[in-house]
């Protein structure tokens, strides 16, 4: 099936859900076993099935299968938030003393996770300020276990060179992990360009209505975890499961199975089945919403680019953008709804003068949202760190919704006038 059909019909079996057309919400915690032997086999990972909703749930299973198919992966794992997805996606393959490499132009919460929390866990993060692959390569050493990037940086709006980063990572026997939240699989499938693991905050575009917290990890199934000898947690016996070797027992699905049976089990950051249901509903309209998001964002970006009181505009589909060529390669259907711009006036007055835009820190909502990164999502960064992330004091991040574009432009224009009085 094509993308749109998978998004609306994928993996539904009406007979198994009492002919209910929409997916049921399985609001339960535990599941009965057929026999003692069945229970033992479930706990030994010898058979598939549900044990406890912290590990799996039929509602969560539906969105996991659907998102994995949309991304082109072998399996997925739903988590409680996008941050928990990033956390355990990396923890699944690193230990104290290891290092990861990441662009510095990433979401502020991820930045803090990497430079503070991981540091407390004995995991070092090397941040790369430039877009040059040579700088990434110079940072790789025998302790490096992965490269991390965002398809479209939040809030930098930079488009990652996924293919280049994947080739570099594979040259040194490590995987590329890509946060595909802003692009969604409708606009870009990182696996098609060599990425190995994808994470999402499903809170954003995949659910799409600002009402369901969640995250997801998707495994391409393509990375050879045995080749380099750098990932013993996947290639040597796990004593908590009587010596199971994930790569031997689960082959291409080794990574995603371990993520569920080890880290989701121990950390407990599972997604609520109710939120999975809301995400399921969002997935049904993802392709329709993304087309409108992209259309509105590009029209606004072009308008702002010609506005005399806008200092700069960041949007990859503008021909003046330094990311234009990368966007044409990786984002053939559009560059999503996120754009950045600098206001020539009082930024506080500008934000507070907006009537249609919601002042919040979310994105990917059907409603237009404005965020001041230096004062909110990246508030914890120093001036030097803000500069490295390309976040100036006049920088506004806008997530463009599905409203009529004329109303969006009028709201921005009126706020600019007020901010200059």
Quick: pLDDT tens for 260-311: 999 999 999 999 999 999 999 999 999 999 999 999 999 999 999 999 999 9
Mean pLDDT of 363-377: 87
375 or 329: which leads in pLDDT: 329
Local structure of 53: helix, strand or coil: coil
When pLDDT is cut at 50, 70 and 90, the band that residue 372 belongs to is confident
pTM of the model: 0.94
Q: What is the pLDDT of residue 302?
A: 98
pLDDT over 90 (residue 380)? no
Q: What is the pLDDT of residue 21?
A: 86
pLDDT over 80 (residue 61)? yes
Average pLDDT value for the chain: 94
When pLDDT is cut at 50, 70 and 90, the band that residue 78 belongs to is very high
Pair 147, 101: CB distance under 8 Å: yes
Q: What is the pLDDT of residue 389?
A: 67
Local structure of 149: helix, strand or coil: strand
346 or 209: which leads in pLDDT: 209
Mean pLDDT of 235-249: 95
When pLDDT is cut at 50, 70 and 90, the band that residue 216 belongs to is very high
Q: What is the pLDDT of residue 392?
A: 75
Mean pLDDT of 387-403: 85
pLDDT over 80 (residue 255)? yes
Q: What is the pLDDT of residue 337?
A: 98
pLDDT over 80 (residue 26)? yes
What tokens appear for 63 in the block? 């969105």
pLDDT over 70 (residue 366)? yes
pLDDT over 80 (residue 133)? yes
Mean pLDDT of 226-248: 96
When pLDDT is cut at 50, 70 and 90, the band that residue 16 belongs to is confident
pLDDT over 80 (residue 378)? no
Mean pLDDT of 82-88: 98
Domains in the chain with CATH codes: 3-282 (3.40.640.10), 288-419 (3.90.1150.10)
Q: What is the pLDDT of residue 348?
A: 85
3-class secondary structure for the chain?
CCHHHHHHHCCCCHHHHCCCCCCCCCCCCECCCCCHHHHHHHHCCCCCCCCECCCCCHHHHHHHHHHHHHHCCCEEEEECCHHHHHHHHHHCCCCCCCEEEEECCCCHHHHHHHHHHHHHCCCEEEEECCCCHHHHHHHCCCCEEEEEEECECCCCCCECCHHHHHHHHHHCCCCEEEECCCCHHHHCCHHHHCCCEEEEECCCCCCCCCCCCCEEEEECCCCCCCCCCCCHHHHCCEHHHCCECHHHHHHHHHHHHHHHHHHHHHHCCECCHHHHHHHHHHHHCHHHHHHHHHHHHHHHHHHHHCCCCEEEEECCCCCCCCCHHHHHHHCCCCCCCEEEEEECCCHHHHHHHCCCCEECCCCCCCCCEEECHHHCCCCCCCHHHHHHCCCCCCEEEEECCCCCHHHHHHHHHHHHHHHCC
Q: What is the pLDDT of residue 22?
A: 86
Mean pLDDT of 339-346: 90
Q: What is the pLDDT of residue 409?
A: 98
């Amino acid at each position: 099936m094509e993308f749109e059909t998978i998004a609306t019909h994928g993996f539904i079996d009406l007979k198994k859900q009492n002919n209910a057309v929409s997916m049921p919400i399985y609001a339960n915690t535990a599941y009965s076993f057929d026999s003692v032997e069945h229970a033992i086999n479930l706990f030994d990972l010898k058979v598939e099935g549900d044990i406890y909703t912290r590990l799996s749930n039929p509602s969560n299973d539906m969105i996991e299968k659907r998102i994995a198919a949309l991304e082109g992966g072998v399996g997925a794992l739903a988590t409680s938030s996008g941050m928990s997805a990033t956390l355990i996606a990396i923890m699944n393959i690193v230990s104290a003393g290891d290092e990861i490499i990441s662009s510095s132009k990433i979401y502020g919460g991820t930045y803090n996770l990497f430079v503070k929390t991981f540091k407390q866990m004995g995991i070092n993060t090397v941040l790369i300020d430039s877009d040059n692959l040579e700088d990434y390569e110079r940072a790789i050493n025998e302790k490096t276990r992965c490269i991390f990037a965002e398809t479209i940086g939040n809030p930098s709006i930079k488009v990652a060179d996924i293919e280049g980063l994947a080739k570099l990572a594979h040259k040194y026997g490590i995987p590329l992990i890509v946060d595909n939240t802003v692009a969604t699989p409708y606009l870009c499938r990182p696996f098609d360009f060599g990425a190995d693991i994808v994470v999402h905050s499903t809170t954003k575009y995949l659910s799409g209505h600002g009402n369901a917290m969640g995250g997801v990890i998707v495994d391409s199934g393509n990375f050879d975890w045995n080749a380099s000898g750098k990932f013993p947690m996947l290639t040597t016996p796990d004593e908590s499961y009587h010596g199971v070797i994930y790569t031997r027992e689960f082959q291409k699905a080794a990574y995603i199975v371990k993520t569920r049976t080890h880290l989701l089990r121990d950390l407990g950051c599972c997604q609520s089945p109710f939120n999975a249901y809301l995400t399921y509903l969002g997935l049904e309209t993802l392709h329709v919403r993304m087309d409108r998001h992209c259309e509105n964002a590009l029209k606004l970006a072009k308008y702002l680019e010609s506005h005399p009181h806008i200092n700069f505009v960041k949007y990859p589909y503008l021909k003046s953008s330094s990311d234009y060529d990368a966007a044409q390669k990786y984002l053939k259907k559009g560059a999503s709804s996120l754009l950045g711009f600098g206001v020539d006036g009082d930024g506080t007055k500008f934000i507070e003068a907006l009537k249609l835009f919601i002042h919040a820190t979310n994105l990917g909502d059907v409603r237009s949202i404005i965020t001041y990164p230096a004062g909110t999502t990246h508030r914890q960064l120093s001036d030097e760190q803000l500069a490295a992330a390309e976040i100036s004091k006049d920088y506004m991040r806008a997530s463009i919704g599905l409203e009529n574009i004329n109303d969006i432009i009028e709201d921005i224009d009126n706020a600019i006038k007020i901010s200059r009085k």
